[in-house]
Amino acid sequence: MRNLEVFQSLCGQEALENVLLTTTQWSSVDPAEGQAREDKLRHEDFWGGLISRGAAVQRFNGTRESGLELISKLMLQERKPLRIQDQIVNQQMALHETDAGKLLKDRLASREERLKWELEYLEKQFCEFTRAGDDEMNQILGAELARARRRIGKVAAERKLLEGLHAAGVEKRKAKERKRRGGIGEHDTVAGPSRPRSTNNPRTGRAGPASIFSSPEET
């Protein structure tokens, strides 16, 4: 379900009309049972939200013809940019500022909080069984503690990655702002763009900027 939410935030409302939710392995299941499973996927709690926003459900029967039919259906659709593409390219957002980035950040924070609570509970249980001298339970809880710590480490690493992207985005905006205030163009060097030198005009004898163009006889 979390993956589906992230998928929706990546696509956006309009692009969901071009999504095909495809079921597979129909040759490995009884048709009636497969139909029942597909009906459950269509429920609001699973694919229902995507379907209500324009996504279509189609089966892949494992044949070349079935695959080409799916591809042909996608090719006939009008091309639409993904929400994340619009936000990053057109709106100049950093990844952490996009809908998908914000959702991931919230999910990671919630998951980390839940894992910390679980770890704290397991540690208390471990201490209680240690005092009781129950080595068998301590062995089981020790394995659970190790798994919980690995999960927390993984979530912390993912959160750190997002924070790093956030910091990079902030620094990039600051650099652009410094260039704007300093009058330095995005593609100019630190020394600034070249400017015409003041010289005496040979025709008038007056001082003025040198022309950036040359007549044939001046070349």
Average pLDDT over residues 130-150: 83
CA atoms of 57 and 133, how far apart (whole Å): 57
Of 108, 117, 116, the C-alpha closest to 160 is 108
131 pLDDT above the threshold of 90: no
pLDDT of residue 166: 67
pLDDT of residue 37: 92
pLDDT of residue 183: 63
207 contacts 198 by C-beta, under 8 angstroms: yes
pLDDT of residue 202: 45
pLDDT of residue 134: 78
Kindly give, in sequence order, each residue whose CB lies less than 8 Å from that of residue 11, ignoring residues fewer than 6 positions away: 19, 82, 83
Question: Residues 192-203: pLDDT tens digits?
Answer: 444 444 444 444
Question: Residues 154-196: pLDDT tens digits?
Answer: 888 887 777 777 677 667 777 777 787 876 554 554 444 444 4
Beta bridge partners of 57: 21
Instruction: Return left, alpha or beta for 41; rule: phi > 0 is left, psi -120 to 50 is alpha, else beta.
Output: alpha
Q: How confident is the model at residue 66 (pLDDT cuts 50, 70, 90)?
A: very high
Q: How confident is the model at residue 94 (pLDDT cuts 50, 70, 90)?
A: confident
**Percent of the chain scored above 90 by pLDDT?**
17
pLDDT of residue 59: 92
CA atoms of 179 and 190, how far apart (whole Å): 9
Question: Residue 9: how many CA atoms within 13 Å on its side-chain side?
Answer: 18
pLDDT of residue 63: 92
